[in-house]
Amino acid sequence: MSGAGEVLTIGYERGTPATLIAALKAAGVQRLVDVRALANSRKPGFAKGALSAALEEAGIGYLHLRALGTPAEGRQAVRSGHPEVMRRIFAAHLAGTEAQAALANLSDLARRERVCLLCLEDDPRHCHRTLVAEAVGLPTTHLHPG
C-alpha cells in the first residue's frame, strides 16, 4: 500500500497507544505527523517522547509539525463548543509564513509516503487536522483507533 496521494487523519481522544498503533498499521501508515501545537497529553502514552518511541518500535516514523498546531485561542474556542471560531482562528494561523513552510513540507511528504495526521479530537469535523488535510489538497480518509 503506497498511499502516495492521500492524507489520513486520526484523533486519539478515545484510543490507547496500542489501538492507535493498530489502526495505523492496518492502514499501512509509514509516518505519523503530529499536528498538535503542544505535543504533550494527559493521556498516558501520547506525549511526544513516549509516542515517538512506541511508533519507532512499531516501525512507523514520527514527525512533529508544531507550526500546524492550533493556537491557544483556537483550542479554547473548541473547548468552549465553538469549532467555527477555531476554524476562523486556524485559517488565519495557517496563512502565516511558518505554517505555510510546514504545510509545504507535509504536502511533499504526503506525495512520497503514506502519512497520517494526529491530534486529540475524536471527531474530525471539530478538529483542525481536517483543515490541515484539506490544505494539502489530496484526498483525505479519517481513521479511528479501536
Q: Where are the domains of the chain?
A: 7-143
Residue 84: CA count within 13 A, CB half-sphere: 0
What's the rounded mean pLDDT across residues 41-55? 97
What's the rounded mean pLDDT across residues 126-135? 94
Predicted TM-score of the model (pTM): 0.94
The band of 3, judged by pLDDT with boundaries at 50, 70 and 90, is: low
Query: What pLDDT, in 10s, does the model give residues 34-47?
Result: 999 999 999 999 99
The band of 1, judged by pLDDT with boundaries at 50, 70 and 90, is: very low
What's the rounded mean pLDDT across residues 100-107? 98
Classify residue 122 by burial, with Cβ atoms within 10 Å: 0-12, 13-18, 19+: middle
The band of 4, judged by pLDDT with boundaries at 50, 70 and 90, is: low
The three cell numbers locating residue 131: 483543515
Closest CA to 74 of 43, 107, 99: 99
What's the rounded mean pLDDT across residues 71-91? 93
Regarding the domain delimited by 7-143, which CATH topology (the fold level of the hierarchy) does it fall under? Cobalt-precorrin-4 Transmethylase; domain 1 (3.40.1010)
The partner residues of 117 in beta bridges, in order of sequence, read 9, 33
pLDDT over 70, % of the chain = 97
pLDDT at 126: 85
How far is the CA of 40 from the CAs of 21, 48, 64, 81, 95, in angstroms? 17, 6, 11, 22, 25
